[in-house]
Amino acid sequence: MEASKIEISETIPASRKLQREDAAALLAKAKTMVVSKGKKVTEFAGGSKASEEALDAMLGSTGNLRAPTAVVGKHIIVGFNEDTYSDALT
């Protein structure tokens, strides 16, 4: 993040578990969401068009929000994919 001169406004420690309700609140405020699981990258609509499938994609097997999760403007990035982060942060 420092190399791209990006300021992080909030960091939430892993010990604070964000669950389905927290994920739903994030998704409701977003325009789009990109979820990366391995090499698979899926894009979902946010806001009032958000689906249960999108919400499920945000959560790991424990029911907590997957890490890393980044909110970039009105877009959410869940999981790590180098190309997705590069596109969003440039």
pLDDT in tens, 35-84: 999 889 999 999 988 999 999 999 999 999 998 999 988 999 999 998 88
Q: Is residue 66 part of a domain?
A: yes
Q: 14: pLDDT confidence band, cut at 50, 70 and 90?
A: confident
Helices (H), strands (E): how many in the chain? 3, 4
**Which pTM value belongs to this model?**
0.86
Say if residue 3's pLDDT is above 70: no
Show the domain range for 51: 20-89
Q: Is residue 7 part of a domain?
A: no
Q: Is residue 27 part of a domain?
A: yes
Q: Is residue 45 part of a domain?
A: yes
Q: Is residue 59 part of a domain?
A: yes
When divided into structural domains, the chain yields a total of 1
C-alpha span between 3 and 88 (Å, rounded): 14
